[in-house]
A and B are shown apart, each in its own frame.
Chain A
Amino acid sequence: MAQFIDMPKLSDTMTVGTLVKWLKKEGDVINAGDMLAEVETDKATMELESFFAGTLLKIFSAAGAQVAIGDPLCAIGKPGEVVAAPAPKTAASAVATPVAPPAPVAASANVPKPASLPAVPATAPLAPEPAPTVGRVRISPLARKLAAEKKIDVTLVNGSGPGGRIVRADILAAEKNPPATKAGSGSTFTGGALSSRGPVQEERLVPVSTMRGVIAKRMLESTTQIPYVYLDIEMDAGPLLALREQLNTGLEKEGVKLSVNDFILKACADALRRVPAVNASWEATNIRRHGAAHVAFAVAMEDGLITPVIRDAHLKSIFQISTEAKSLGKKAKEKKLVPAEFTGGTFCVSNLGMMGIPKFTAIINPPNAAILAVGTTVTKPVVKNGQIVVGQTLTVTLSCDHRVFDGAVGAQFLGALKTLLESPALLLV
């Protein structure tokens, strides 16, 4: 039975210690009395003595980690013993991994592709091997290329190469056996479970990037300078999902796959045609009414978000919108959008459906007058023809600039939208 060595109390006032440096490594033979590591307390840096003999089986805290007193640092035992990371005494058992969400367009809110949603197995995983440097993944150039092509998150792949390097075989294995997420109604977002016993993250200062700075400025401007009205509406997603399935089945051979968001973008464009007052901008002494509906959609990136624009969406078919959205979404993730591609929108759609959010409010992108926040489709009991049945609902929330149009107009817009999405064949004509 392996012996766990916890962070000891090394001073009377100590609450946490920083593991400065390991003096032994996994696999080393330890004698009683050997020094295992250097630990920094609030008072001084001390050496951690082992009272046990054996082989150092597993290290749970990487160098530099801050560990609370009593939390396990490492395990010593017989060589070859398998050690499961013990439940930490302090942190919560599952912490959502910060997974970069794929472009809302690429992944349908209803049927997430397994590869784009790397989830961690439900069983408590073994503590990962310590990375040689914090925050850097060891991976061969080929494996990195393959992972990018297959949209596999390398931070969650175990490397079988020397020093824990991820190689091609590991990527192919991750592709073959991704943890299954259930296809079906509603997105089942299983956040990853982080089992590291260490701190929530490396404590450090991250300089504000240009993109982050711009987002911060614009969001602040938008929320402080626009008088907001929020309207939400719940709609029956059944017909939309059915039409989508029907179309996708028929177009499968041509490699076409329409997403729910493609329909929503089209529906917004059509709704803007019906309630054009929403397709406008406040210009102090004028309200500019836009002739075209250039519908933008939000795409999350590694450290921010961007809104590529589908120009003249009111003139395009769902298929055209879908193709363009996919291509723009890909470019957005690769940071290859040119300004012409992410400026000039007149309306915006933000979709957190694939993240499992049922409903939310979004911040308007000036100089737009509105933004639509789209939630996930939820399977729940609904009333149909006086009966309680299982239905699928979709909630959307419109944020409105009350200077440009009033609540009633917003309500009209949402009404039009609901009509279109509940009779989605209207989008095909």
Chain B
Amino acid sequence: MPQITYREAIRHALAEELTRDPNVVVMGEEVAQFNGAYKVTDGLLATFGPTRIVDTPISEAGFIGLGVGASMLGIRPVMELMFWSFYSVAFDQILNNAANVRYMSGGQINCPIVIRGPANGGTNVGATHSHTPENVLANHPGVKVVVPATAYDAKGLLKSAIRDNDPVFFLENTILYGDKGEVPEAEYVIPLGKADVKRVGADLTIVTYGRCVIHSLKAAEVLEKDHGISVEVVDLRTIRPLDFDTVLASVKKTNRVLIVEEQKPFASVGTQLAYMIQREAFDHLDGPIHRLATIDAPAIYSPPVETEQLPNPARVIKAVLAAMA
């Protein structure tokens, strides 16, 4: 099976869906002529032309609102935010219009848009470019939120996202763009709302998603080898809709939980998970639910210190040991 990068996986998904459905339009800053700020859309303009791959001026509220309006008439825009941090300048369009128009019209309209782009820290780009807003997005009924960790997941999930008739927000990671993984050449889709047990274990469940999956898998190797602790890693893949059954089954098996998330702590995704786990698996918990999050401050610039602010394999190991106490 060929090995391609996460970035290529996304590109292939876009290309396949652009080919399959003439209503799909890719739109964003520098996506066409520049070939993408992170080269995700590299080559697409040459293949599909400027009507399908559209460079926008720097006006997120404008072009995302435009995409939402167009989707009401049947266009399926896949809009890129160069950084998900920029969602805040288009908040009204994303979380008032895209999220609510169906509801406010009593179900007469739907907005089959996709907004995609990287949402991550760890690249020393500072506090305003390092946001991970999956918790804020997922808080809004009417939207779907996807955070893939691997090339294989990214491709299958993006195709599902584009085909989905509801607004889907797809959060990638600039650091993961270069990660290689096995991706089949034949077409496949991964349904939204389906988690994936990336590593089977017996002693403790790590519930996680995105780059923290990679950290958790690395930590799990060390924990097995050096500490004899068998960790199960559950990759949510989609935040909303949420595959809670897989989480529940794992917690009931291991009786111990550590949530690992690149999120600032207050009202994060993990906070919601912790509520649900203690609510539905109370009698199966052999200890409190632990959570490893980003250290609670704006993203620091200083490179080595930012590594420590975010979850990393060493911090995961420590957190697992604490949770096993």
Contacts from A to B (Cβ < 8 Å): 140-145, 161-162, 165, 167-168
- Does more than half of chain B's interface fall in helix, strand or loop, or is it mixed? loop
The answer on a CB contact under 8 Å between B325 and A140 is no
The interface residues of chain A lying within 8 Å CB-to-CB of B283 are: 141-142, 144-145
CA separation between A272 and B283, bound complex, in Å? 47
The answer on a CB contact under 8 Å between A142 and B255 is yes
The answer on a CB contact under 8 Å between B255 and A161 is no
The interface residues of chain B lying within 8 Å CB-to-CB of A162 are: 325
User: Shortest beta-carbon distance, A149 to chain B, in Å?
Assistant: 10
User: Shortest beta-carbon distance, B222 to chain A, in Å?
Assistant: 23
The interface residues of chain A lying within 8 Å CB-to-CB of B325 are: 161-162
The interface residues of chain B lying within 8 Å CB-to-CB of A145 are: 283-284
CA separation between A167 and B325, bound complex, in Å? 10
The interface residues of chain B lying within 8 Å CB-to-CB of A144 are: 283
The interface residues of chain A lying within 8 Å CB-to-CB of B188 are: none
* B284 to chain A: closest residue by CB: A142
Is B286 at the interface (CB under 8 A from chain A)?
Answer: yes
Contacts from B to A (Cβ < 8 Å): 255, 282-287, 325
Q: Using A142-B283, A161-B325 as known contacts, list a sample of 14 further A-B pairs with CB atoms less than 8 Å apart, ordered by residue number in A.
A: A140-B285, A140-B287, A141-B284, A141-B285, A141-B286, A142-B255, A142-B285, A144-B283, A145-B283, A161-B287, A162-B325, A167-B286, A167-B287, A168-B286
User: Shortest beta-carbon distance, A155 to chain B, in Å?
Assistant: 19
Among A140, A161, A165, the one with the most B-chain Cβ atoms within 10 Å of its Cβ is: A140
User: Shortest beta-carbon distance, A346 to chain B, in Å?
Assistant: 41
The interface residues of chain B lying within 8 Å CB-to-CB of A143 are: 286
Identify 7 residue pairs between A and B in the complex whose beta-carbon atoms are under 8 Å apart, listed by A's number. Answer: A140-B285, A140-B287, A141-B284, A141-B285, A141-B286, A143-B286, A168-B255
The interface residues of chain B lying within 8 Å CB-to-CB of A165 are: 287
The interface residues of chain A lying within 8 Å CB-to-CB of B284 are: 141-142, 145
CA separation between A145 and B284, bound complex, in Å? 8
User: Shortest beta-carbon distance, A268 to chain B, in Å?
Assistant: 40
The interface residues of chain B lying within 8 Å CB-to-CB of A161 are: 287, 325
Among B283, B284, B286, the one with the most A-chain Cβ atoms within 10 Å of its Cβ is: B286
User: Shortest beta-carbon distance, A206 to chain B, in Å?
Assistant: 29
The interface residues of chain A lying within 8 Å CB-to-CB of B287 are: 140, 161, 165, 167
- Minimum-distance CB pairs A-B, first 7: A142-B286, A145-B283, A140-B286, A168-B286, A141-B283, A141-B282, A141-B285
User: Shortest beta-carbon distance, A164 to chain B, in Å?
Assistant: 12
CA separation between A141 and B325, bound complex, in Å? 15
CA separation between A379 and B318, bound complex, in Å? 60
The interface residues of chain B lying within 8 Å CB-to-CB of A167 are: 286-287
User: Shortest beta-carbon distance, B205 to chain A, in Å?
Assistant: 13
The interface residues of chain B lying within 8 Å CB-to-CB of A141 are: 282-286
* A171 to chain B: closest residue by CB: B286
Among A141, A144, A145, A165, the one with the most B-chain Cβ atoms within 10 Å of its Cβ is: A141
CA separation between A141 and B283, bound complex, in Å? 5
User: Shortest beta-carbon distance, A173 to chain B, in Å?
Assistant: 14
User: Shortest beta-carbon distance, B288 to chain A, in Å?
Assistant: 8
CA separation between A400 and B42, bound complex, in Å? 99
* A169 to chain B: closest residue by CB: B286
* A144 to chain B: closest residue by CB: B283
CA separation between A204 and B285, bound complex, in Å? 34
CA separation between A162 and B284, bound complex, in Å? 18
CA separation between A350 and B268, bound complex, in Å? 58
User: Shortest beta-carbon distance, A148 to chain B, in Å?
Assistant: 10
User: Shortest beta-carbon distance, A337 to chain B, in Å?
Assistant: 24
CA separation between A161 and B286, bound complex, in Å? 10
